[in-house]
Amino acid sequence: MREIIFDTETTGLDNRVDRIIEIGGIELDNHFPTGRTFHKYINPGEQKVHPEALAIHGITDEFLKDKPPFADVVGELVDFFEGARWVAHNATFDMGFINAEFARLSIPPVPQDRVLDTLSMARRKHPMGPNSLDALCRRYGIDNAHRTKHGALLDSELLAEVYIEMIGGRQAALGLSSEESRGRDGTSFENEVIVIAARPRPLAARISEAERAAHAAMVSSLGGKAIWAKYEAGSVDPA
């Protein structure tokens, strides 16, 4: 299964007027990072970055001046996400902005059944919280010390690690399978399936006739209620 763990940064909180200014994504294949990423800064046109948003992500209007508009990167974005599940933390927010940008370009919205919200997952798994990305990193022992500001690609990388931990993907992916998997560095490998076949011919018995006779004599001395007597009679399945 192919999934894209992604995040967006925006000029503000209202997707009716505010715009996406950064989007980053990490590709997972069967819960393993493939090494493929998507990352773009986007010029929001006339919409300026709100001071509150600037304090969170640090992306300035000046920095965005020479960046391409969303219309110029949407083709690459759609190609990268094609056929994959969209996975985000508080996906309602991110998908609201994605679908608003798509609507401006007359592109159909992303169907809800292709979207997974890791915040909802975390709230079900850890109902006492907290369930912010930073809190989940602490819970799962993921180093996020370098996260001084929000950034779409960095947050996607951290979320990918959190998501894999939440679904038990590290352990599940180690199961035997005939399908190709990928390591953290993107290296592909084929898991080996081990099949233990039955012997075409049973091994020769290693118990001598004298030993059999001695065992039978010992069993008969135990009395009729002894468990060994029931085994000898075949009334108990040794399995």
For the segment 32-59, what is each residue's pLDDT rounded down to a tens digit?
999 999 999 999 999 999 999 999 999 9
Q: At 204, is the pLDDT very low, low, confident or very high (cuts 50, 70, 90)?
A: low
120-124, 194-198, 210-214: the lowest-pLDDT one: 194-198
Q: At 215, is the pLDDT very low, low, confident or very high (cuts 50, 70, 90)?
A: confident
As a whole number of angstroms, the distance between CA 105 and CA 83 comes to: 20
Active site residues: 150
**Which of 69-78, 173-182, 227-236: highest mean pLDDT?**
69-78
Q: Is the pLDDT higher at 135 or at 212? A: 135
Q: Which CATH class for the 2-190 domain?
A: alpha beta
Question: Are the C-beta atoms of residues 40 and 76 closer than 8 Å to each other?
Answer: yes
Q: At 18, is the pLDDT very low, low, confident or very high (cuts 50, 70, 90)?
A: very high
Taking CA atoms, 78 is separated from 72, 106, 151, 175, in Å, by: 12, 13, 21, 32
pLDDT of residue 67: 98
Q: What is the mean pLDDT of residues 200-204?
A: 63
Q: At 192, is the pLDDT very low, low, confident or very high (cuts 50, 70, 90)?
A: very low
Identify any residues that bridge with 85 across adjacent strands, giving them in sequence order.
Answer: 3
Question: Are the C-beta atoms of residues 123 and 131 closer than 8 Å to each other?
Answer: yes
Quick check: 183 pLDDT over 60? no
Q: What is the mean pLDDT of residues 85-107?
A: 98
Domain boundaries, the chain: 2-190, 205-239
Q: At 74, is the pLDDT very low, low, confident or very high (cuts 50, 70, 90)?
A: very high
Preceding omega of 130 cis (within 30 degrees of 0): yes
**Which of 44-53, 189-198, 199-208: highest mean pLDDT?**
44-53
pLDDT of residue 201: 64
Q: What is the mean pLDDT of residues 57-81?
A: 97
